[in-house]
Structure 1
Amino acid sequence: MGALSPWHIILIAIVALLLFGPNKLPELGRGFGKMFREFKDATNGNNGNSSDEQLPRKEVNQAEITNSETGQVQK
């Protein structure tokens, strides 16, 4: 079996349209997209953290940077 031709894709789209109707297809598309995105994240080892979700960063005050050798705060 070879790759899907454009006629196969059109036939699949028509059958899906007849089975699910025009109102349900966008919802199904979003569901499949979410499923594939979660699968990709799981296989890449992202553990559910999406690339657009970032952890909050802690503000660092430059006057309170510690000296790693002495452990004292430089001011």
Structure 2
Amino acid sequence: MGAMQPWHWIVLLVVILLLFGSTRLPGLAKSVGQSMKIFRKEMKDLRDDDKDTDGTAAAPGGATSGTTGTTGTGTTGSSGQVPGIVENRDRDIPKA
């Protein structure tokens, strides 16, 4: 009862085709493939960064050599802020 039999897969494919239609499935597959490609690239970059920082000593400014912090992958920039975050002082919202 635990394993899916071939007719289960056929029913599942028919339901997916009915829900999404044959015109949207290629676009969906393409976007999933692009997402996986980006995910793999970021994971490789993280592994490479870990290897780079493990063997190096800290620079006099407190930063490790070889890292700039401007990649936009969640690292902080030179000002110590996370990219994409807007502070309250930058907004045009009147204070009550």
TM-score tier by shorter-chain length is 0.3 to 0.5
The one of the two structures with greater contact order (alpha-carbon pairs below 8 A, sep at least 6) is: 1
- Structure 2-normalised TM-score? 0.38
- Structure 1-normalised TM-score? 0.47
> Looking at CA atoms only, which structure, 1 or 2, has the larger radius of gyration?
1
